[in-house]
């Protein structure tokens, strides 16, 4: 059996990102965190396995710098049952980031917003 996961690679900010996501999403569960033992990245996240709404994700801090970062071509989509919860989450995620599509009614969703958070991760939030 195969298992898929979305992998998010950070440059030293994985812990900060996971802390934000744990505040934003009530159903986020962190299953395990492994840390880099030594070197310039000692203590940073080597691998964090977590779930959001049943979806498996992995986050880590890269031990080397890369010439690329996150792109909105790949987003994490989250459906919400409550418009108020969606709006709170969108406000928190977009704070210090970039709004790509403001919260509004669209043909495909009564309430939807798309943003990059302050770490560069792209989020699409829609009302179920």
Query: In the chain, what are the helix, strand and coil shares in percent, each to the nearest 5?
Result: 20, 45, 35
Q: What pLDDT is attached to residue 97?
A: 98
Pull the structure tokens for residue 24.
């934003």
Smallest CA-to-CA distance from 81 within 20, 26, 3 is with 26
User: What residue segments make up the domains of the chain, in order of their start?
Assistant: 6-61, 75-127
pLDDT tens per residue across span 47-101: 999 999 999 999 999 999 999 999 999 999 999 999 999 999 999 999 999 999 9
DSSP helix/strand/coil, 20: helix
Q: Look at 39 and 57; give whichever has higher pLDDT.
A: 57
Is there a common fold for 6-61 and 75-127?
yes
DSSP state of 26: T
So what's the architecture of 75-127 in CATH? 2-Layer Sandwich (3.30)
Q: What pLDDT is attached to residue 1?
A: 81
Pull the structure tokens for residue 58.
């992995």
Q: Do 37 and 47 meet the contact criterion of CB atoms below 8 Å apart?
A: no
Mean pLDDT, residues 100-112: 98
Angle at 121 between CA 118 and CA 123, to 5 degrees: 105
Mean pLDDT, residues 33-56: 96
pTM of this prediction? 0.94
Classify 6-61 by CATH class. Answer: alpha beta
Mean pLDDT, residues 103-115: 98
pLDDT tens per residue across span 1-26: 899 999 999 999 999 999 999 999 99
CA 10 to CA 7: how far, in whole Å? Answer: 10
CA 123 to CA 113: how far, in whole Å? Answer: 8
């Amino acid at each position: 059996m195969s298992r898929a996961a979305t992998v998010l690679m950070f440059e030293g900010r994985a812990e900060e990102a996971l802390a934000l996501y744990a505040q934003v999403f009530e159903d986020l569960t962190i299953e395990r965190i492994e840390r880099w033992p030594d070197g310039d990245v000692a203590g940073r996240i080597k691998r964090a396995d977590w779930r959001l709404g049943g979806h498996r994700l992995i986050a880590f801090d890269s031990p080397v710098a890369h010439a690329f970062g996150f792109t909105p071509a790949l987003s994490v989509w989250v459906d919400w049952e409550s418009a108020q919860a969606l709006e709170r989450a969108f406000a928190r995620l977009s704070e210090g980031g970039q709004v790509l599509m403001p919260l509004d009614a669209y043909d495909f969703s009564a309430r939807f917003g798309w943003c990059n958070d302050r770490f560069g991760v792209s989020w699409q939030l829609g009302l179920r």
